[in-house]
């Protein structure tokens, strides 16, 4: 291979605990694969060093029988697509070679990461020939980015704990390096940064010289006094984000800015900008900010916008929403790309509360590709693996007009979720590349920065991605390769927790994790302010047993709500769908299996100490999710009995309901105990509001009293309506 660069020679020696034994390893990297390729090479070096192996300086002579690893760019297979790679293993007398050939630098990196993983899991000697091609080309993270209390992410007037505490982390190279490292390891290749209006914190606009912000500010815990957490000039901020984008590129990650478009925020009142967002000066400000952002950050690959946030018809009388978006973002993109017409850039227009014809008319002169974006499961990716909301949109899509999927996780903020079967089914149900360009997953209600809800963390706080490592691994790796065997993740878990019973741990973890999709398909609130399953609440408060009786189920999930189930039962008809009692039984059996496995799992001698601490926390999450599953199971059963008592007046049904709800109260108390063992309370979330799980015990207890005082005929069937969706688009 021409122009190859010898990177390292690693003496392997005796590989304690490894399944292979070889005297040495050499690694050579094609210089054309620098950036992502160098990251993979460093991962191989790190994994070798972590096993106590001696790393010899570059150029040292390797033994004849060394394993020789080559990472190179070249067509790995016929018609290879971007990010694809092949691994070829050759055994000759006294010599073994492993060649990774990637279609591009990202393909080289992913193949090199396979080699690094094989070293970590002790399977390098069993590595075999393989070809790998991405199933979904763009696999992204939706990252709400709190740059400053003056330029927040989506919080609609609040300043929630996870954002308030993470502001300083957003200006830390160490945080972003850790995040992009993990994104590459888990095969994510896109990050979308979401902000109401990021421009004052990231760019200088010549026409508006007083808008750019110096320093970085957050608030104290009372959210009254502002605190400067980092002294920075705007020039230093710009250089910071240029460096962060370079970190991303070097790990194969593309960067997009998503905004909620019309929020002036810190710009209001400066340089002639008033609160009138449709005024010519406001439009000029946004257009110039978009232009300067594109010119300032050459590695930025796109913007994301929406016509559905903060744009009431009453304010957009003289200019329509789409016209406003064109005059600001469309014209700004055209201005920014004028001097670099060949630059790779894209606009993603979120597709709700708007119409396709309006978008296409307004953006007819856009000088770059235009895609749509759709909330795939509204706010709840942990519901069913094949959400139906996208079906009306699919006929409008084509290879020339594709959509991205916003995969919202506003179900799980605290716990380490892991269920390979659910993640695999969800990924496989996503429509193909003729319709879908890619996805980005993440929450609005919680910030995926560092984890500030865990009690008594040891050393530096983990990032959320580090804490929930297996969940991120499942979604990213399966999105790249949905048929990746479950054994892959079991090996990763075994390397993480040496000494644990991995099959038993995997099964219990999945059983407990099933709590969330089963309860959310039964009790549906489409957006996050309507349903936060960790706390059985909406933004306005706790969901009572009556809410469960009257509530709707997820559209398209095939689950009957309690009133529908009651009607079919009393009519002695076969129910057409999964019944509430079947959901309750499934929640019960899953949770019971998980809890039954815990005593033996807790006896495992996991080492070293850091692994043991994380293992204990993982078992704590399994127990807590299982206790929540038991709570929901008994609450559903109590609600079913109440519904029957409401119709029949049979006091035996009322007594049964009370018994179930008393059991639910005990399960909630167990849930609150296990939850607060690991996590702080209360927590102010962005969308769910202030959550205090122990305090809500009084609301759970009130369900028992409600059942005791229930009068037949309380429910008016005619007023029960099924929950709707938030699709909100037209042709």
CATH code at 87? 3.30.379.10
From 62, 97, 132, the end of a domain falls on 132
Phi/psi at 408 (nearest 5 deg)?
A: -85, 130
Shared domain for 146 and 127, answered yes or no, is no
**Banded model confidence at residue 6, pLDDT cuts 50, 70, 90:** very low
Q: How far apart are CA 62 and CA 59, in angstroms?
A: 9
- Is residue 454 situated within a structural domain? yes
Residue 310: CB atoms within 10 Å: 13
Task: Give the pLDDT of residue 20.
Answer: 43
The answer on pLDDT for 306 being more than 90 is yes
Residue 702: CB atoms within 10 Å: 16
Shared domain for 126 and 142, answered yes or no, is no
Task: Give the pLDDT of residue 501.
Answer: 98
Q: With b meaning 16 or more CB within 10 Å and e meaning fewer, what string describes 135-157?
A: bbbbbbbbbbbbbbbbbbbbbee
Cis peptide leading into 608, omega within 30 of 0?
yes
- Is residue 173 situated within a structural domain? yes
Shared domain for 580 and 707, answered yes or no, is yes
- Is residue 164 situated within a structural domain? yes
From 496, 522, 551, the end of a domain falls on 496
The answer on pLDDT for 21 being more than 70 is no
The answer on pLDDT for 664 being more than 80 is yes
Q: Please report, rounded to a whole number, the percentage of residues in the chain having pLDDT higher than 90.
A: 86
The answer on pLDDT for 689 being more than 60 is yes
Please name the residues in contact with 472: beta carbons below 8 A apart, sequence gap of 6 or more: 182, 186, 188, 465
- Is residue 667 situated within a structural domain? yes
Shared domain for 127 and 159, answered yes or no, is no
Q: How far apart are CA 191 and CA 318, in angstroms?
A: 35
Tokens of 311: 């744009």
Shared domain for 23 and 155, answered yes or no, is no
Mean pLDDT in residue range 393-410? 97
Task: Please answer whether residues 728 and 392 qualify as being in contact, where contact means their C-beta atoms are separated by less than 8 angstroms.
Answer: no
- When divided into structural domains, the chain yields a total of 3
Shared domain for 571 and 635, answered yes or no, is yes
Please name the residues in contact with 540: beta carbons below 8 A apart, sequence gap of 6 or more: none
Q: Model pTM greater than 0.85? A: yes
Q: How far apart are CA 361 and CA 355, in angstroms?
A: 10
Bridge partners of residue 228, in order along the sequence: 217
- Is residue 601 situated within a structural domain? yes
Can you give the CATH number for the domain in which 405 is found? Answer: 3.20.20.80
Q: How far apart are CA 557 and CA 389, in angstroms?
A: 10
Nearest to 188 by CA among 227, 153, 137: 137
What are the pLDDT digits (tens) for 83-129?
A: 999 999 998 877 889 999 999 999 999 999 999 999 999 999 899 99
Shared domain for 358 and 483, answered yes or no, is yes
Shared domain for 454 and 514, answered yes or no, is no
CA distances, 265 to each of 153, 171, 200, 226, 306 (Å): 11, 20, 9, 16, 17
The answer on pLDDT for 72 being more than 80 is yes
Shared domain for 516 and 485, answered yes or no, is no
The SS3 of residue 477 is helix
- Is residue 503 situated within a structural domain? no
What are the pLDDT digits (tens) for 565-601?
A: 999 999 999 999 999 999 999 999 999 999 999 999 9
Name the least confident of 5-9, 187-191, 429-433: 5-9
From 438, 469, 496, the end of a domain falls on 496
Q: Please report, rounded to a whole number, the percentage of residues in the chain having pLDDT higher than 70.
A: 93
Shared domain for 255 and 148, answered yes or no, is yes
Shared domain for 160 and 174, answered yes or no, is yes
Report the chain's mean pLDDT, rounded to a whole number: 92
The H or E element spanning position 339 is: none
Nearest to 332 by CA among 320, 319, 345, 342: 345
Mean pLDDT in residue range 287-312? 96
First to last CA, the chain: 54
Q: With b meaning 16 or more CB within 10 Å and e meaning fewer, what string describes 83-107?
A: bbbbbbbeeeeeebebbbbbbbbbb
The answer on pLDDT for 706 being more than 90 is yes
Task: Give the pLDDT of residue 19.
Answer: 39
Task: Give the pLDDT of residue 185.
Answer: 98
Task: Give the pLDDT of residue 53.
Answer: 61
Shared domain for 468 and 561, answered yes or no, is no
**Banded model confidence at residue 9, pLDDT cuts 50, 70, 90:** very low
Q: How far apart are CA 634 and CA 637, in angstroms?
A: 5
What are the pLDDT digits (tens) for 161-219?
A: 999 999 999 999 999 999 999 999 999 999 999 999 999 999 999 999 999 999 999 99
Q: With b meaning 16 or more CB within 10 Å and e meaning fewer, what string describes 374-407?
A: bbbbbbbbbbbbebebbeebeeebeeebbbbbbb
Range of the domain at 596: 508-730
Residue 344: CB atoms within 10 Å: 10
**Banded model confidence at residue 78, pLDDT cuts 50, 70, 90:** low
- Is residue 308 situated within a structural domain? yes
Mean pLDDT in residue range 8-37? 64
- Is residue 502 situated within a structural domain? no
5-11/54-56 β-pairing: antiparallel
Beta-carbon-side half-sphere exposure of residue 502 (alpha carbons within 13 Å): 14
For the chain, the residue count is: 731
């Amino acid at each position: 291979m021409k122009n190859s660069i010898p990177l390292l020679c690693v003496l392997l020696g005796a590989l304690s605990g490894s399944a292979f034994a070889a005297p040495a390893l050499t690694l050579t990297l094609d210089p054309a694969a620098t950036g992502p390729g160098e990251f993979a090479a460093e991962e191989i070096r790190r994994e070798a060093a972590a096993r106590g192996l001696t790393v010899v300086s570059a150029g040292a002579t390797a033994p004849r029988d060394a394993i020789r690893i080559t990472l190179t760019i070249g067509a790995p297979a016929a018609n290879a697509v971007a990010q694809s790679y092949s691994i070829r293993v050759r055994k000759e007398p006294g010599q073994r070679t492993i060649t990774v050939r990637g279609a591009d630098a990202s393909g080289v990196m992913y193949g090199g990461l396979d080699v690094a993983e094989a070293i970590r899991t002790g399977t390098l000697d069993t590595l075999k020939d393989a070809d790998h091609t991405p199933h979904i080309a763009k696999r992204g993270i939706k990252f709400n980015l709190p740059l400053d209390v003056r330029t927040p992410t989506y919080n609609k007037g609040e300043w929630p704990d996870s954002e308030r505490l993470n502001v300083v982390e957003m200006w830390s190279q160490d945080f972003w390096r850790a995040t992009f490292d993990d994104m590459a390891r888990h095969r994510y290749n896109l990050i979308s940064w979401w902000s109401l209006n990021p421009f004052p914190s990231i760019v200088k606009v010549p026409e508006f010289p007083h808008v750019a912000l110096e320093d970085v500010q957050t608030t104290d815990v009372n959210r009254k006094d502002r605190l400067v957490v980092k002294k920075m000039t705007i020039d230093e901020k710009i250089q910071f984000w240029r460096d962060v984008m370079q970190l991303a590129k070097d790990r194969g990650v593309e960067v997009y800015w998503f905004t909620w478009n019309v929020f002036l925020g810190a710009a209001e009142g400066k340089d002639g900008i008033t609160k009138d967002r449709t005024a010519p000066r406001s439009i000029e400000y946004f257009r110039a900010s978009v232009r300067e952002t594109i010119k300032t950050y050459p590695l930025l690959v796109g913007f994301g916008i929406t016509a559905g946030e903060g744009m009431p018809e009453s304010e957009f009388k003289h200019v329509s929403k789409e016209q406003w978006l064109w005059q600001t973002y469309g014209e700004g993109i055209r201005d920014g790309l004028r001097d670099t017409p060949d630059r790779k850039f894209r606009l993603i227009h979120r597709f709700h509360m708007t119409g396709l014809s309006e978008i296409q008319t307004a953006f007819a002169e856009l000088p770059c590709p235009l895609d749509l974006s759709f909330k795939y499961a509204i706010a709840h990716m942990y519901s069913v693996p094949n959400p139906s909301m996208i079906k009306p949109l699919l006929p409008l899509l084509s290879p020339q007009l594709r959509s991205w999927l916003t995969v919202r996780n506003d179900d799980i903020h605290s716990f380490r979720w892991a269920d390979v079967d659910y993640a695999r089914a969800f990924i496989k149900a996503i429509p193909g590349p003729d319709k879908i360009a890619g996805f980005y997953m993440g929450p609005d209600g919680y910030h995926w920065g560092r984890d500030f809800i865990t009690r008594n963390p040891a050393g530096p706080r983990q990032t959320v991605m580090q804490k929930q490592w297996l969940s991120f691994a499942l979604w990213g790796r399966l999105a790249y390769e949905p048929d990746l065997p479950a054994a892959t993740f079991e090996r990763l878990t075994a390397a993480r927790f040496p000494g644990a019973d991995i099959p038993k741990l995997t099964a219990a973890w999945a059983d407990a994790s099933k709590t969330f999709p089963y309860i959310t398909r039964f009790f549906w609130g489409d957006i996050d302010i309507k349903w936060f399953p960790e706390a059985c609440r909406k933004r306005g408060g706790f969901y009572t047993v009556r809410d469960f009786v009257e509530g709707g189920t997820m559209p398209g999930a095939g689950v009957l709500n309690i009133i529908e189930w009651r009607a079919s039962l009393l009519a002695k008809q076969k129910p057409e769908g999964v019944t509430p009692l079947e959901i309750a039984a499934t929640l019960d059996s899953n949770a019971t299996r998980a809890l039954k496995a815990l005593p033996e799992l807790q006896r495992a001698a996991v080492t070293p100490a850091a692994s043991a601490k994380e293992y204990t926390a993982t078992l704590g999450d399994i127990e807590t999710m299982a206790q929540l599953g038991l709570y929901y199971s008994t609450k559903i059963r109590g609600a079913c009995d109440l519904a029957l008592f409401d119709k029949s007046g049979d006091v035996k049904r009322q007594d049964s309901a009370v018994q179930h709800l008393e059991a639910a109260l005990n399960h909630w108390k167990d849930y609150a105990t296990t939850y607060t063992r690991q996590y702080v309370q209360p927590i102010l979330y962005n969308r769910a509001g202030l959550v205090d799980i122990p305090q809500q015990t009084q609301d759970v207890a009130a369900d028992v009293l409600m059942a005791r005082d229930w009068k037949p005929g309380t429910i008016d069937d005619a007023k029960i309506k099924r929950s709707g969706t938030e699709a909100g688009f037209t042709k």
